[in-house]
Amino acid sequence: MKKVIPFLALALIVVACNNSKEKENPNNSNEEMNSTENPLLSESTLPYGAPDFSKIKDENFQPAMIEGIAQQKKAVEAIANSEEEPTFNNTVLALEKSGELLNRSSQIFYSLAGSNTNETLQAVEEEMAPKFAAQRDMIYLNEKLFQRFKTLYEKKETLNLDAESLKLLEEYYEDFEIAGANLSADDKEKLKEYNSKIATLTTKFGKTLLDANNTGAVTFTNKEDLAGVDEDFLKSKESKDGKGWTIPLQNTTQQPLLQSMDNRASREKLFKAAWHRADQGANDTREIIKELVEVRAQKAQLLGFKNYAEWSLQKTMAKTPENVNKFFSGLIPAATAKAQAESDEIQKMIKSKGENFTLEPWDWNYYAEMVRKEKYDLDENQIKPYFELNNVLEKGVFYAANKLYGITYKERTDIPVYQEDVKVYELFEENGDALGLFYTDYFARPSKSGGAWMDNFVTQSKLYNKKPVIYNVLNIPKPAGNEPVLLTYDEVSTMFHEFGHALHGFFANQQYPSLSGTAVSRDFVEFPSQFNENWALYPDVLKNYALHYKTGEQIPQALIDKIKNSATFNQGYSLTENLAASNLDIQWHTISADKKIEDVNAFEKDALNRTKLDAVHAVPPRYRSTYFSHIFAGGYGAGYYSYLWTEMLHHDAYNWFETHGGLTRENGQRFRDMILSRGNTLELEKMYKDWRGSDPKIEPMLKARGLK
Ligand SMILES: [Zn+2]
């Protein structure tokens, strides 16, 4: 995952403004504005401008960000109100330079808010969210500022700009356009109304769904009904009165417990509770969906687009909903054919157990688990001794990067860290030149959000003469005492993944920070990271790092085969359920403004039927519309396809390497020169095609999933 700080992704957050808190906060005093008191107000003097965590205190963040907001506001007003004719330097470049303090302090703040938070930081986060939203409006709804950009944009060909500067102008102009700056005063008012309605509806969807998830939890009073379920788990779910067990619902359609519940009626009960959690009763989300898709369609129409997806895909690699649908159509036949074969195999398994019922969605994971044990059994305890953390990082992740890109590393113990488990490495080019600083924060702790991500403390840019300072965060359980840290294969793969994002940031070679490194669209940003996962199982790399932590012996081939083989288990199901959800997302967001949806369930049924994604009866969508929070409460409206899209890119890219000699310096350099170093300076589709020699194909992805 690539983390995005809220200033760059304001559409994703909806937090109610709370001014009263601000007054109560004693840290808001003027003393903090003094740079001798607040280390964030001046540039760090550490190597690479790395944040000086030996000096930064929690109470420094809010005053620094508020000062940053004020400085940027002053700069923006000066640009907008300038009497001079607009030029690239006095307008575009001036805006690019306007947020230096704000960016510097918020980058450090949001890193800690994600990986090492506490009540103080949480309170600051909540207070700052509406201020960041207002800051964005201050820029993108500033009419005078927009007119200066428009003047420049309309004569962009005559400005003699270098390619990157031209791209910067275009990006800013498009952001103004997307925000509605080109509308008449009346239409701007309408847009504000739509935006506020959308914000209200997405918040309402999120709240209603939360209630639906909570009240949807299923209580069992008879222990026999829960046969097969882990005892420790059950203990933690005992009701307070001791008279039963309450099983909470997970976000997805399938529930984890369905894999182990022996009792078929119980499975059906749990599944149906998940399926119907939000299409009936007090927590029905269907009216919200109807209104939301309608307002989104109206907003798109106001901005001159046929539908919401068309509007929201403008700056992506896929570009149009038609391209996304074409991508889906290529995958659907292979996915559903494999799902059908899996369904047949499971039906056989049911029969072999002496049962004669027809496979239903609530049976799938229970019997698929039996198939997995029989055909793909991979025992994590057998493989973990070969995946010791330091070996994986230094002899695996760094080794692969050395073979491909020539980079080397040295641990730096002199750079202050924000938590004792964090380590810092300095990375170097092949010729010994400095590349940047790399922080690893790998262990789980209560102050850290779940998952794994990468981001920058300092973004590369020639404008500020900055080399990147980058961190990777994972959530690996920390063993007690001096026990070795042994990883699951999943954790190994995640380390390679996050370092793939890091490479995208380290190789950035941009003039402007806002175009640097990972500042690309959602359907591209996960490509370098997923691509880097491929090297984890590459024979030369694996031989180098997968060494038994006690004996030093290499991982046996039989175990490697098991890891590879297990990657194809249940992939027909998994791809079909994902495609079904992705397809629902696109269909909901390609409705035109004049179309009224009467019945949400009927729309959903028809959407799946038209695309033949309902071909295998026992494979439901990963999310139904009524609990699809990514698209109706989060920021993924018309964007859920991105996961599958980048999966296509990375397999297709790896296929190029496989057919061109694999892990070589030459191949790595070419990939670095044409992809990893380019940031957001080129049109992504063209960037990819120039490197690959053709458009991306779906065949390598289908092969990797075992569907071909
Ligand atoms: Zn990622």
Mind giving me the DSSP string for 654-684? HHHHHTTTSS-HHHHHHHIIIIIT-TTSS-H
Calculate how far, in angstroms, residue 52's C-alpha sits from the geometric centre of ligand 1.
27
What is the phi/psi pair of residue 315, to 5°?
Answer: -100, 15
CA–CA separation, 55 vs 273, rounded Å? 52
**Residue 439: strand pairing partners:** 424, 471
The whole-number average pLDDT for the span 13-36 is 36
**Catalytic option among 32, 127, 491, 498:** 498
Q: Which pLDDT band, with edges at 50, 70 and 90, does 9 fall under?
A: very low
CA–CA separation, 138 vs 208, rounded Å? 31
The whole-number average pLDDT for the span 284-297 is 98
How much is the pLDDT for 18?
Answer: 28
In tens, the pLDDT along 230-277 reads 999 999 899 888 889 999 999 999 999 999 999 999 999 999 999 999
Calculate how far, in angstroms, residue 608's C-alpha sits from the geometric centre of ligand 1.
29
Place of tokens 């275009």: 170
Indicate if the pLDDT at residue 327 is higher than 70.
yes
State yes or no: is 119 an active-site residue. Answer: no
Indicate if the pLDDT at residue 558 is higher than 50.
yes
Ligand 1 ion: Cβ-proximal residues, 5 Å cutoff? 1, 526, 529
CA–CA separation, 79 vs 90, rounded Å? 7
Calculate how far, in angstroms, residue 494's C-alpha sits from the geometric centre of ligand 1.
8
- Asked if residues 463 and 363 have their Cβ atoms less than 8 Å apart, the reply is no
Calculate how far, in angstroms, residue 454's C-alpha sits from the geometric centre of ligand 1.
7
Q: Which pLDDT band, with edges at 50, 70 and 90, does 400 fall under?
A: very high
The whole-number average pLDDT for the span 537-565 is 95
How much is the pLDDT for 95?
Answer: 98
What is the phi/psi pair of residue 427, to 5°?
Answer: -105, 145
| CA nearest neighbour of 8 among 123, 202, 140, 122 | 140
Least confident range from 23-27, 623-627, 678-682, 696-700: namely 23-27
Indicate if the pLDDT at residue 25 is higher than 60.
no
How much is the pLDDT for 253?
Answer: 97
Indicate if the pLDDT at residue 616 is higher than 60.
yes
Calculate how far, in angstroms, residue 438's C-alpha sits from the geometric centre of ligand 1.
16
How much is the pLDDT for 65?
Answer: 97
- Asked if residues 499 and 663 have their Cβ atoms less than 8 Å apart, the reply is no
Report residue 539 as tokens. 């024979």
Calculate how far, in angstroms, residue 385's C-alpha sits from the geometric centre of ligand 1.
26
In tens, the pLDDT along 498-524 reads 999 999 999 999 999 999 999 999 999
Place of tokens 């078929």: 264
Q: What burial class does residue 138 get, using C-beta atoms within 10 Å of its C-beta: 0-12 exposed, 13-18 middle, 19+ buried?
A: middle
Q: Which pLDDT band, with edges at 50, 70 and 90, does 23 fall under?
A: very low
With a pLDDT cut of 90, the percent of the chain lying above it is: 88
CA–CA separation, 237 vs 242, rounded Å? 10
Calculate how far, in angstroms, residue 165's C-alpha sits from the geometric centre of ligand 1.
28
In tens, the pLDDT along 438-492 reads 999 999 999 998 889 999 999 999 999 999 999 999 999 999 888 999 999 999 9
- Asked if residues 624 and 284 have their Cβ atoms less than 8 Å apart, the reply is no
Indicate if the pLDDT at residue 20 is higher than 70.
no
**Better-scored residue on pLDDT, 81 or 192:** 81
The whole-number average pLDDT for the span 279-285 is 96
The whole-number average pLDDT for the span 423-431 is 98
Calculate how far, in angstroms, residue 452's C-alpha sits from the geometric centre of ligand 1.
8
How much is the pLDDT for 21?
Answer: 30
Q: Whole-prediction pTM value?
A: 0.91
Output the CA angle 583-586-588, nearest 5 degrees. 105
How much is the pLDDT for 4?
Answer: 52
Calculate how far, in angstroms, residue 191's C-alpha sits from the geometric centre of ligand 1.
33
Calculate how far, in angstroms, residue 643's C-alpha sits from the geometric centre of ligand 1.
10
Indicate if the pLDDT at residue 12 is higher than 90.
no
Indicate if the pLDDT at residue 32 is higher than 80.
no
Q: Give 518-581 as a 3 state SS string.
A: CCCCHHHHCHHHHHHHHHHHCHHHHHHHCECCCCCCECCHHHHHHHHHHCCCCHHHHHHHHHHH
How much is the pLDDT for 378?
Answer: 83
Output the CA angle 414-491-548, nearest 5 degrees. 85
Indicate if the pLDDT at residue 34 is higher than 80.
no
Calculate how far, in angstroms, residue 497's C-alpha sits from the geometric centre of ligand 1.
6
Q: At what angle do helices 321-352 and 571-588 cross, to 10 degrees?
A: 140
Distances (CA, A) of 478 to 312, 473, 475, 484, 485: 41, 14, 9, 9, 7
How much is the pLDDT for 133?
Answer: 83
> What share of residues in the chain are helix, strand, coil (percent, to 5)?
60, 5, 35
How much is the pLDDT for 36?
Answer: 61
